Structure 1
């Protein structure tokens, strides 16, 4: 569940412009977090507006929840830049309204698919590496934030009603109601 709606796995990606390197940032999330009233979609307080609609039927107390975020890129970046991208993923999480919890089990992993060339003379020595510099990463950070936010929302939008153990039921978010709210707040074109 995510913000008390049925959810699960969501994905999203961004491709940087050729001027910014043309690199791709992809994000996969497994959502299981959030309180209904905190949900934001495109800055719209959807959770507050829908706080009394499609309420879950919970017959067994759940924990604080968690989220797993995986950030992948083909950009030639260092470990330090990957750590910074993982931190930026939390900005995307916050843009959906998440405020964290002292007992949540959030995990974020970032990696690059960059292929190394290895030295023929010295085993385990990489050659011909040119990493992006710290001042060239702004677009990657923005892409990470945007793709994380979208992946979380996609996990909610894809959710369908489900009844599980002890009769606990979670409902998929009403797409028409979300469109109505996005229109109300002038977020749809």
Structure 2
């Protein structure tokens, strides 16, 4: 199956600042508002969109050269290890990347690993003979709700297509590896963001790219506002603040479509149009999300929820578990060691938590951070490093990593469009489910 790549129209959309997701947090963004604000980083996609096949491949290139010959310092952090990524063990041991970063669905990992090995051998025939083997690095999320995993639609050729498509201005949302992903029971996918901070007397850029495929609707929190709970309550027929919710199979899309005709709210008036953070609303508005099919599914009536609680205010036992996964890639131009990059990768979890995730049992939450400040030559016997940022000066970079991951998740939701896939399963887009989102955020800010 021939995949669709980004194309000029998608690239233009990626640069459309007027259509950017609401800015969360107080740190400023780079000009592209993406991981490509880190110099040298590019992203490409191959998208498969054919009825029950809704999937694809995304590739992040840390630089334009041969990553095997000029290795990139990196480190990974496993927040919750329910995942099938390939290559993390050697990254943890050696602290470098040897291939571009590939993302796809769970059953496509093997095909992409083979493609990465083949591409490295084609460029360097000494690999596996006079030289050591190559470490493929493939990340995955399970897109099986919208995509027929049993089709094994992803092939090595799709990796080559995505690699050839790599560019600074790249598409986001329901594209590439994100085509079939779900996030908070809405359409998820690829999101990206960047932040610019000062550390050790210089300005540095931190960028993030996420493959968002996690969470339950009532948990969704944007800038401290319980957006998911508000959507669920509104879908149930009442104003935000009443009980109710969305069926797990994307029911109530008719309500969302009607709401989509409403007026969009105004941008916030903080720095860079930011909405800041409005504080918390209970336990991120986590209520019992329904798992039934069709319109009957949804949040349990309040009396039923209360009856299942062991004490006033207790969470119900029947709440469905958080499942899915998220891959969080963090890039920076700050000169950091692999040990320091491990610390940066861990801070991705802070951004993830701000959106409402609790890293559920069945969620594979993986972060990887890399630096473009220098490379490690394959054949070097000694490696000269630039002056590294001191550990005591890392806090601004930690904050930027958390902020950019949080923003990238919001970006994935904001840019994703409605998709219907396997067996007629549908995920609606955030902007269809909450056309008044910006107004909600503005009202919360005014009342803070």
TM-score by length of 2: 0.38
1:40 aligned residue: 221
CA distance in 2, matches of 1:183, 1:114: 38
Conservation of the 8 A alpha-carbon contact between 1:29 and 1:69: yes
Larger Rg: 2
**Cα drift, residue 82 of structure 1:** 0.6
Tell me the SS of whatever aligns to 2:362: coil
2:411 aligned residue: 154
The 1:5/1:19 distance shift into structure 2, 3 A limit, reads: same
The 1:187/1:88 distance shift into structure 2, 3 A limit, reads: farther
CA distance in 1, matches of 2:189, 2:220: 15
Worse-superposed segment, 109-118 or 136-145: 109-118
The 1:29/1:162 distance shift into structure 2, 3 A limit, reads: same
After superposition, give the CA deviation of every residue in 1:83-130 in whole Å (9 maximum; x if it has no partner).
111110000000111111112112211111122487xxx932112531
1:127 aligned residue: 384
CA distance in 2, matches of 1:9, 1:117: 29
Structure with the bigger RCO (C-alpha within 8 Å, sep 6+) is 1
After superposition, give the CA deviation of every residue in 1:27-86 in whole Å (9 maximum; x if it has no partner).
000000001001111100001111143941486xxx820001100111111112111111
**Cα drift, residue 187 of structure 1:** 6.0
1:141 aligned residue: 398
1:26 aligned residue: 207
**Cα drift, residue 177 of structure 1:** 1.8
2:327 aligned residue: 68
Tell me the SS of whatever aligns to 2:430: coil
2:196 to 15, 18, 30: 15
**Cα drift, residue 19 of structure 1:** 6.8
TM-score by length of 1: 0.87
- Runs (4+) of structure 1 exceeding 4 A deviation are none
Tell me the SS of whatever aligns to 1:135: helix
Gaps of at least 5 residues in structure 1 are: none
Worse-superposed segment, 179-188 or 68-77: 179-188
1:185 aligned residue: 444
**Cα drift, residue 183 of structure 1:** 2.4
2:359 aligned residue: 100
Tell me the SS of whatever aligns to 2:406: helix
The alignment covers a number of residue pairs equal to 183
CA distance in 2, matches of 1:65, 1:117: 35
Gaps of at least 5 residues in structure 2 are: 1-181, 236-244, 252-291, 294-321
The two structures, once aligned, show a CA RMSD in angstroms of: 2.4
**Cα drift, residue 180 of structure 1:** 2.3
